[in-house]
Amino acid sequence: MTLIPSHPSPSSPSAALPFQTWTWRGFPICYQQQGEAGPAVVLVHGFGASCGHWRKNIPDLATGCRVYAIDLIGFGYSAKPTPGEAIAYTFETWGEQLADFCREIVGGPAFFVGNSIGCIAIMQAAVDHPELAQGIVAINCSLRLLHDRKRSLKPWHQRIGPPIAQKILSVKWIAQFFFNRLATAKTVRSILLQAYRRADAVTDELVEIILGPSRDAGAVDVFVAFTRYSQGPLPEDLLPILPCPALLLWGSEDPWEPLTLGKEFAKIPTVDQFIPLPGLGHCPQDEAPEVVNPIVLEWILKKQGESNLLE
């Protein structure tokens, strides 16, 4: 078990904003913070990413908010304990982590902003701890299309592939071999170029933000644990029971989470606004921060103002 992962060096991406450490259940958790006034905002990354993925968003949001970007346990430069021994890598676990972070570091309720699987983590935190959630901003929410419940509705020949792949990856040497081939600058860049529609946003800095934490001991075990995790909540389970309003942003050219499916969420009463982002991919906040930041900041300050009027 790795209790203290390697920490980013001063030359690492986002090093201009200091990395801080919070101890959660005995494990070091990495986060960044900027902004001294206004509502609290907690930024939560997607699969394989980290707080560095918000480097283009934190300064703008911090002009009107107290902004925190956190590495979920198992990702980024947070600890990567062995799955199943001390930590179960589930959305319930990450929801508890975020709730405790709000209590111990933020000091109270917050607006949660997530990308991809981070959206489900923040929804879980809000549902389980309604007193801590002022609002949800979900950016290209993971639809969890390989979830057991969704797979069960497909023809048999489309159902068998994922379980076979999960079984194969449970063999440690195979998982290590596959991960080693995946965790290279060339492969990471190729995957990012699929996810992003603006190729110039896929920089060496971004590749290193994704690749750096994969060198930590324990990274491969967390990767396998999550790829085998096809249970737990779906966004359509959590969105209708949110205790707070939600803003959904969706890059229209996302190759993994189709806009046509995401638009169905606009019908859910807790969704305050659903805004398609034309020409953008799976990570609009990084691909086009000049588009995303003003939308997010304006919505958060508006909701905070409405909340103040009701008090």
Written as one letter, the residue type at 82 is T
> What is the model's pLDDT at position 1?
32
**Confidence tier at 184 by pLDDT (50, 70, 90):** confident
**How far is Cα 300 from Cα 278, in angstroms, rounded to an integer?**
22
Q: Is 153 left (phi over 0), alpha (psi -120 to 50) or beta?
A: alpha
Residue 281: predicted pLDDT: 96
Q: How confident is the model at residue 311 (pLDDT cuts 50, 70, 90)?
A: low
Q: To the nearest whole number, what is the mean pLDDT of the chain?
A: 86
pLDDT at residue 259, as a whole number: 96
Condensed to tens digits (0 to 9), the pLDDT of residues 28-83 reads: 999 999 999 999 999 999 988 999 999 999 999 999 999 999 999 999 999 999 88
pLDDT at 110 over 70: yes
Range 268-293 average pLDDT: 97
Portion of the chain with pLDDT greater than 70, in percent: 80
Residue 173's pLDDT is 42
Closest to 100 in 3D by CA, of 192, 23, 164: 23
Q: How many CB atoms lie within 10 A of CB 304?
A: 19
Residue 204 pLDDT: 95
Report the 3 state secondary structure along the chain: CECCCCCCCCCCCCCCCCCEEEEECCEEEEEEEECCCCCEEEEECCCCCCHHHHCCCHHHHCCCCEEEEECCCCCCCCCECCECCCECCCHHHHHHHHHHHHHHHHCCCEEEEEEEHHHHHHHHHHHHCHHHEEEEEEEEECCCCCCHHHHCCCCHHHHCHHHHHHHHHCCHHHHHHHHHHHCCHHHHHHHHHHHCCCHHHCCHHHHHHHHHHHHCCCHHHHHHHHHCCCCCCCHHHHHHHCCCCEEEEEECCCCCCCHHHHHHHHHCCCEEEEEEECCCCCCHHHHCHHHHHHHHHHHHHHHHHHHHHHC
Looking at the predicted structure, is the pLDDT value of residue 307 above 80?
no
Mean pLDDT, range 277-302, rounded to an integer? 97
Which pLDDT band holds residue 26 (cuts at 50, 70, 90)?
very high
Residue 93 CA to its chain's centroid (Å): 14
The residues with which 80 forms a beta bridge, in sequence order, are: 2
Residue 147, C-beta contacts closer than 8 angstroms, at least 6 positions apart: 230, 231, 232, 234
What is the pLDDT confidence band of residue 3, given thresholds at 50, 70 and 90? very low
pLDDT of residue 128: 98
What confidence score (pLDDT) does residue 147 get?
A: 54
Tell me the per-residue pLDDT of 200-240, one tens digit each, with 9 for 90 and over.
999 999 999 998 888 887 787 777 776 765 677 999 999 99
Average pLDDT over residues 156-184: 55
pLDDT for 245 equals 97
- The per-residue pLDDT for range 144-153, each reduced to its tens digit, is 766 555 555 5
